[in-house]
Amino acid sequence: MPWPMKEPDIEDLTHEATKLLSLKIDELYTVLGCQLLGSAPPTRGAGIATNVMHLRKARHIKKVNKTIGSAIDADKWVDDVDALCNGLKGDGVRFVDAMREEFRKGLCNENVFKLTDAVDESKMQILIMLISGILKMPPQFESISATLAAMLCKSRLREICRKL
């Protein structure tokens, strides 16, 4: 994507959010965490990049040496990926928790509940626009609204609103 980032099109966001409905809620929190990396301290991204470079280097060493034993400890690799995913999921959870009150104020009503039941593209579009209005983020980051819309369609909205 060329810089500066272009504004996402509402139809594209709707299509993306609809595809996200197939994911589990924990996976959606992880997706949200990935999207939030843009606002994370640079060392967070550097840590992820460094881990990936170490894995590539270990894989290369294995290929060059033609070793039967893995230069990449599979258990360690899985543990590292799990830790990364858990960290990103935690970022997503913290973001939703921090926005909980704003979501309650803007979304906890029967009309919005109806949007999350048997969601279709037009309902998803409305949800995305409502969430975008609550978040007040620059248009380039409205894809976060698409992820949140998918999350709210997976019973998350009713859960947030029940805790009034």
pLDDT at 72: 56
Per-residue pLDDT tens over the stretch 24-35: 999 999 999 999
**Rg (Cα) of the chain, in Å, rounded?**
19
pLDDT at 155: 73
pTM equals 0.82
Tell me which amino acid residue 30 is: T
Residue with tokens 């609204």: 145
pLDDT at 31: 96
Per-residue pLDDT tens over the stretch 67-126: 655 545 667 777 878 888 899 999 999 999 999 999 999 999 999 999 998 899 999 999
Helices assigned H by DSSP within the chain: 10-20, 25-36, 42-65, 74-107, 110-116, 121-135, 143-151, 157-162
Per-residue pLDDT tens over the stretch 22-75: 999 999 999 999 999 888 788 888 887 887 787 777 666 666 666 655 545 667
Q: Is residue 3 part of a domain?
A: no
Per-residue pLDDT tens over the stretch 119-158: 999 999 999 999 999 999 888 888 999 999 999 998 778 8
Q: Which residues contact 159 (CB under 8 A, 6 or more apart)?
A: none
Parent domain of 139: 10-162
Structurally, how many domains does the chain consist of?
1
Q: Is residue 131 part of a domain?
A: yes
Q: Is 65 helix (H, G, I), strand (E, B) or coil?
A: helix
Take residue 73 and report the two structure tokens written for it.
């400890």
87 phi and psi angles, rounded to 5 deg = -65, -45
* Maximum Cα–Cα distance across the chain: 64
pLDDT at 1: 47
Q: Is residue 65 part of a domain?
A: yes
Contact 158, 26 (CB under 8 A): no
Q: Is residue 1 part of a domain?
A: no
Contact 157, 110 (CB under 8 A): no
